[in-house]
Chain A
Amino acid sequence: MNEREQMNIVIVGHVDHGKSTLIGRLLADTDVLPDGKLEQIKEHCRKNSREFEYAFLLDALKDEQSQGITIDSARCFFKSDKRRYLLIDAPGHIEFLKNMISGAARAESALLLIDAQEGIQENSKRHGYMLSMLGIKQVAVCVNKMDLVKYDKKVFSAIETEYTKFLSDIGITPQAFIPVSAREGDNIASSSKNLSWFTGKHVLEVLDSFAKEPLPEEKPLRMPIQGVYKFTKKGDDRRLIAGRIESGTLNVGDEVVFLPSNKRSIIKSIEEFNAPTSSFAKAGQSVSLTLQEQIYVNRGELMTRKEDVLPQVSSLLRANIFWMGKTPLSTDKRYKLKLGTTSVPVMIKSIESVLDASNLDAAKKAHVERHEVAECILECQQPIAFDLSAELASTGRFVLVDEFDIAGGGIIAQALDDKQKKARAQVFLREQKWEKGHVSMKDRAEKYSQLPTLLLLTGKTGVDKKSIAKLVEKKLFDAGRKSYFLGIGNILRGIDADITKTERDEHVRRFGEVANLLLDAGLLVVGTASDLDVDDLRLLQTINKRGETYIVHVGDPDGTHDVAHLLLDAADDHEVNALKVIEQLKLKNYIFNL
């Protein structure tokens, strides 16, 4: 047996079809229970005059035993001659679909149980569908309780035919169909005489035949950034980029790109703790890296190699979502989308169709109810980097958070063009061709004790943003900072002389490009622009690759109010407001050391 190999298996199926019994049986028949455990539970049953059930081995929780249903996905370990298994028992009751999903999402393969006497039930199908959405491809189906149908081959074959058809509709080819009796121990850990007409493998053999899926080393590099650490107080000057490699490989010396920011650098080292240094890392590893050129990247960015196929970047995407929320998923509410280590506010732009996973009926509906699956178009507040799930599973799926809880899971089917697509492509080329001098961004940041930042004051016309902005510029300047006021109007007659005022997008784009140059020179740019909308802000953020973008909203709510980092009251004294802005710059560590 290979002590070092472990496979995670989830057991799913309609409630009462015998999952817990099957697991109890596997534990008992493979001899992995601690001495006395089986006897202890049998004794407990005798004392309480209850019939012994193998399921009790698993259902160790008190209230579970009294209710008689598995409410959560429990985990337990067992061993075969081949390797170690982590068995995950997923509850079959519809109420606990979120628990079934939590269990199944952790698995590499699945056993799906169907009661021979009851036949295929609603959740037999729903669970099958969820397995396909979760991307679990190795599935074996056990037709259980064969003892109740006198081990009749016909019953088994009928279920096999019907369910194979259903699975093929959702893109799953089962590895095996096995007639079993979990209670009697038929075909669990040994072949059964009662089922002599069946020539296939028993459950344990089928489990052992499941292959370990290799980690996606051959695929493009994807590493979501979990954090950028600097423990200067602990006497450590390294700036560590931390994350886990989801796919691909990386070498010291590789040029890497961070998306969506499009910042680039070269891997200087892979830092180890209590391990020999290495110049190579691959999918599955959690690593700490240092970069040759210090660039300011944040948690949430996706790192890839310049040579690899790049991920998609957009704020608009099409996805299939399964909903587990207490209230229905709707188009008029803001959710949070979490993908890799990114987290952005998101709106459901449209619900294209809603599917009942228990019978595959699709319908057009205004809401997605709990336990339904829907195809939706999502619009993120900022562009994010991702993959299509068919190409790269781990960066092609996300969860939706409603209030405080994860309430839905989604797999991305398509990246849609958002309004910034063209600008993004231009910026990509611009960055590739950008010629740098000998003074790096880090040199400038250290010399000036400031990170280049576009401080953008927005709000309706007439709230006197400019006075606040100019005061901020002046105060920063007086404190020894390199600051510069840039009103969007200032470029109207010069750089914008060839376009009309109605070409708004181009107007904003040019403003962004000018700001980007000033940021590259290391300045704190205090910009003002009126009546911007969310798309304008996204455009500016797409263009600004040289520094941070910090949005300050002044006055009554408008289109950009919700996405601002700081809200100012137009009625407040300019002095007060300017100080608030500067305070934030300090808190954010955009200015330091003076």
Chain B
Amino acid sequence: MDKLDALESQSVYILREAYANFHNLCMLWSIGKDSTVMLWLARKAFGGHVPFPLVHIDTAYKIPEMITFRDKIAVKLGLDMVYGQNKKALANKNTFPDGKIDRIACCKTLKTEALRNTLSGEWPRYRLNHKTGKYDVDENREPYTGVIVGARADEEGSRSKERYFSPRDKTNNWDVGDQPPELWNQFKTDFAPGTHIRIHPLLDWTELDIWEYIERENIPITDLYFDKGDGKRYRSLGCYPCTNPVESTARTPKEIVEELRAGKFSRIAERSGRAQDKEDGGGLETLRRDGYM
């Protein structure tokens, strides 16, 4: 079996196991390449449909094209699209771009906290109304017990320790030292009330696999990843105050694949364009324990 076929098959298997075992299931969609591939894999798994809501955490500082792309795809595919946001922090201007807090604290506020409270239903969720094309406050505040996340093991140290099905306790904590065993494609699908499970269908994929697959399947992806003439493109997407484009003239998935295989990026870490990674010696681990993706 081809490497991509094997990865695809395993991811589809995991998605179907998630769907069978969790009533309140959702998929986090960051609009980035990984979760966009995951969305595609969901359509592979379920005959072209996506039978669960997609949740996006909107920090209000996302590169604007990301939001446009999100809504365009959501409308086109009839996705059950939901977003959450830390409205209070934004209103109080308690953010890094407003100069009140540092980058790490800002991530914590706008992403981690917003995510935790959106998943638990503590804060309002906004759901796309396909009739009006606008987002309404969602009546459904039930906590999601299964959350599908596009983390990859090769991204950075702490993610290499993840399980496919990874429990989070009531405060979203990840107890990396005491994870349940996972073997023979049997996953942790039983959990205590109040806890939830993160599901990682892309754990075994690398950045190169992702791009090879985007190329092979011709997956629609935001064009922020491609050079549009100024010799710059994004390698990893995030909030604009903290994410910088890289110098690259790759204009298609194929050119990105070549660049990753042999070109200038074959030896440079993917998240090198993200400022917050550099501020903490332990990498993303502190954030990750708190529930940041």
The chain A residues found within 8 Å of chain B, CB to CB, are: 3-6, 33-35, 37, 44, 60-63, 71-77, 84, 86, 98-99, 101-102, 105-106, 134, 215, 226-227, 229, 231, 234, 236, 238, 240, 242-244, 271, 273-274, 284-286, 288, 299, 324, 336, 338, 341, 394, 397-399, 401, 403-407, 409
Determine whether the beta carbon of A406 is less than 8 Å from that of B188: yes
Determine whether the beta carbon of B3 is less than 8 Å from that of A5: yes
Q: A76-B154, A236-B49 are in contact. Are A6 and B176 (CB under 8 A)?
A: no
B11 — nearest CB in chain A belongs to which residue? A286
Determine whether the beta carbon of B184 is less than 8 Å from that of A273: no
CA distance A44 to B206 in the complex (A): 26
Which of B179, B218, B283 has the most CB atoms of chain A within a 10 A radius of its CB?
B179
Which of B2, B17, B184, B191 has the most CB atoms of chain A within a 10 A radius of its CB?
B184
- When distances are taken between beta carbons in the complex, the residues of chain A under 8 Å from B268 are 34-35
The contact string, 1 if C-beta is below 8 Å from chain A, for chain B 72-85, is: 00000010000000
CA distance A5 to B161 in the complex (A): 23
- When distances are taken between beta carbons in the complex, the residues of chain A under 8 Å from B49 are 231, 234, 236
- When distances are taken between beta carbons in the complex, the residues of chain A under 8 Å from B217 are 274
Determine whether the beta carbon of A406 is less than 8 Å from that of B181: yes
Is B158 on the interface with A (CB-CB < 8 A)?
Answer: yes
Determine whether the beta carbon of B186 is less than 8 Å from that of A406: yes
A-B Cβ contacts below 8 A, count: 159
Return the contact of B181 from the options A86, A101, A403 (Cβ within 8 A).
Answer: A101
- When distances are taken between beta carbons in the complex, the residues of chain A under 8 Å from B12 are 244, 286
- When distances are taken between beta carbons in the complex, the residues of chain A under 8 Å from B283 are 60
Return the contact of A73 from the options B8, B154, B161 (Cβ within 8 A).
Answer: B161
Determine whether the beta carbon of A6 is less than 8 Å from that of B281: no
Return the contact of B180 from the options A35, A238, A240, A405 (Cβ within 8 A).
Answer: A405
Among B40-48, B103-111, B241-249, the stretch in contact with A: B40-48
- If over half of B's interface residues share one DSSP class (helix, strand or loop), that class is named, otherwise mixed; here it is loop
CA distance A33 to B2 in the complex (A): 25
Determine whether the beta carbon of A74 is less than 8 Å from that of B46: no
- When distances are taken between beta carbons in the complex, the residues of chain A under 8 Å from B153 are 75-76
Determine whether the beta carbon of A34 is less than 8 Å from that of B267: yes
- When distances are taken between beta carbons in the complex, the residues of chain A under 8 Å from B157 are 60-61, 74
Known: A244-B13, A286-B45. 11 other contacts (CB 8 A): A3-B3, A6-B6, A74-B157, A75-B203, A105-B183, A244-B12, A271-B47, A285-B5, A404-B188, A404-B190, A404-B191
5 closest residue pairs by CB, A with B: A60-B157, A105-B183, A98-B181, A286-B12, A62-B282
Q: A73-B161, A405-B180 are in contact. Are A226 and B44 (CB under 8 A)?
A: no
Determine whether the beta carbon of A405 is less than 8 Å from that of B190: yes
Determine whether the beta carbon of B181 is less than 8 Å from that of A102: yes
B44 — nearest CB in chain A belongs to which residue? A273
Smallest beta-carbon distance B188→chain A, Å: 6
Return the contact of A226 from the options B17, B154, B182, B192 (Cβ within 8 A).
Answer: B17
Smallest beta-carbon distance A259→chain B, Å: 19
Determine whether the beta carbon of B20 is less than 8 Å from that of A399: no
- When distances are taken between beta carbons in the complex, the residues of chain B under 8 Å from A409 are 181, 183-184
Determine whether the beta carbon of A35 is less than 8 Å from that of B267: yes
The contact string, 1 if C-beta is below 8 Å from chain A, for chain B 1-25, is: 1111110110011001101100000
Q: A242-B16, A286-B13 are in contact. Are A61 and B3 (CB under 8 A)?
A: no
CA distance A305 to B128 in the complex (A): 45
Determine whether the beta carbon of B281 is less than 8 Å from that of A284: no
Determine whether the beta carbon of A74 is less than 8 Å from that of B184: no
Return the contact of A284 from the options B4, B6, B19, B43 (Cβ within 8 A).
Answer: B6
CA distance A398 to B20 in the complex (A): 18
Determine whether the beta carbon of B161 is less than 8 Å from that of A61: yes
Return the contact of B190 from the options A74, A105, A299, A401 (Cβ within 8 A).
Answer: A401
- When distances are taken between beta carbons in the complex, the residues of chain A under 8 Å from B182 are 102, 105, 406
Determine whether the beta carbon of B9 is less than 8 Å from that of A244: yes
CA distance A35 to B51 in the complex (A): 42
The contact string, 1 if C-beta is below 8 Å from chain A, for chain B 168-188, is: 000000001101111110101
Smallest beta-carbon distance A95→chain B, Å: 10
Determine whether the beta carbon of B183 is less than 8 Å from that of A406: yes
Smallest beta-carbon distance A554→chain B, Å: 29
Q: List, sorted by A's number, 5 A–B pairs whose CB atoms are closer than 8 Å.
A: A3-B3, A98-B181, A102-B181, A226-B16, A399-B184
CA distance A288 to B51 in the complex (A): 15
- When distances are taken between beta carbons in the complex, the residues of chain A under 8 Å from B3 are 3-6, 84
Is B228 on the interface with A (CB-CB < 8 A)?
Answer: no
CA distance A273 to B203 in the complex (A): 22
CA distance A3 to B49 in the complex (A): 31
Q: A86-B204, A105-B184, A229-B46 are in contact. Are A72 and B9 (CB under 8 A)?
A: no
CA distance A74 to B176 in the complex (A): 11
Smallest beta-carbon distance A384→chain B, Å: 14
CA distance A61 to B9 in the complex (A): 30
Is B71 on the interface with A (CB-CB < 8 A)?
Answer: no
Q: A61-B157, A75-B160, A234-B78 are in contact. Are A288 and B47 (CB under 8 A)?
A: yes
CA distance A77 to B4 in the complex (A): 16
- When distances are taken between beta carbons in the complex, the residues of chain B under 8 Å from A338 are 186
CA distance A403 to B189 in the complex (A): 11
Smallest beta-carbon distance B155→chain A, Å: 11
- When distances are taken between beta carbons in the complex, the residues of chain A under 8 Å from B190 are 336, 401, 403-405
Smallest beta-carbon distance A528→chain B, Å: 33
Is B261 on the interface with A (CB-CB < 8 A)?
Answer: yes
Is B235 on the interface with A (CB-CB < 8 A)?
Answer: no
Determine whether the beta carbon of A286 is less than 8 Å from that of B183: no
Smallest beta-carbon distance A157→chain B, Å: 35
Determine whether the beta carbon of A240 is less than 8 Å from that of B184: no
Is B290 on the interface with A (CB-CB < 8 A)?
Answer: no
Which of A240, A286, A398 has the most CB atoms of chain B within a 10 A radius of its CB?
A286
Is B163 on the interface with A (CB-CB < 8 A)?
Answer: yes
CA distance A77 to B163 in the complex (A): 16
For residues 36 through 80 of chain B, which have their beta carbon under 8 Å from a beta carbon of chain A? Answer: 43-49, 51, 78
